[in-house]
Amino acid sequence: MSAASTKALFRATKPRRRHPAQKLLGDFPDQVKPSEARDPLDYDPTPPEATSAFLAAEGARLREIGGPVWEPAVGGGHMADELARHGFEVIGSDLVDRGWSGVRLQSFYDFAAPPADILITNPPYCEVSARDGHGRWLRHIEDLGVRYAAMLLNWDWIAARINGMDDLHARFPVSRAYVCCWKIDFRGGGSPPQRNGWLVWDADWQGETVLRRLFRDGPDGRQGALF
């Protein structure tokens, strides 16, 4: 047996230490990571607070543009339902049917023109990342000429430089970037590992990229809360 295998076996068989506080409070179940396998299409349902916080910041701009919102990775409708709750009409499309009523089954890349002026989504990361997707999802947004696009992404995403990402960002820069001041728990594991943010590409924006902070417990983004 190799040294590496011996070390792994030792870790697996070594008894766990109990914290002194646990002895006082009694036994609690150990926290474990979710065991379900990664979805092959990188589907991660978006908790409602991530969408509602974004709408509190950008809702007025969306209503200024007007019209429906296109969610091209609608999945089970977690983001679409929150958009509808805030008064927006939603056009939802996806590659597969995950149960959202009215889904248009069509690959994002098969759209030659956007069905709405506004696109808001949590895209499959394997399609937008620099390493795996070469930024393909964002490149198609650029090709479609969408007036307004917003994506919920890993905060590290914007720092990627490989596979032509420098040229893409220079040519099609982010208008507004919102760093989430809490960690979004997409999979219900209780300890999300990454920081996320909303990035906005607004065709009417002029000037440099603006960085803003976004809070989970911010003001309500519905129409009535604006007045």
Instruction: Spell out the domains of the chain, with CATH numbers in brackets.
Output: 48-226 (3.40.50.150)
Which three-class secondary structure state does DSSP give residue 149?
strand
pLDDT score of 212: 98
Cα distance between residue 74 and residue 94, in whole Å: 6
Q: What pLDDT was estimated at residue 39? A: 62
pLDDT for 24 equals: 43
Low-confidence spans in the chain with pLDDT less than 70? 1-42, 221-227
Integer Cα distance of 11 and 45 in angstroms = 34
Q: How many CA atoms are closer than 13 Å to the CA of 98, on its beta-carbon side? A: 18
Confidence at residue 100, expressed as pLDDT on a 0 to 100 scale: 96
Confidence (pLDDT) at 190? 74
* pLDDT score for 218: 72
- pLDDT at position 120: 98
Residue 34, CA distances (Å) to 16, 189, 195 in order: 20, 6, 19
Spatial strand order in the sheet of 148-154: 104-105, 90-94, 69-71, 118-121, 148-154, 196-202, 176-180, 210-214
153: Cα within 13 Å, side-chain hemisphere: 25
pLDDT at 135: 98
Element (H, E) at 154: strand 148-154
Measured from the Cβ of residue 145, the count of other Cβ atoms closer than 10 Å reads 10
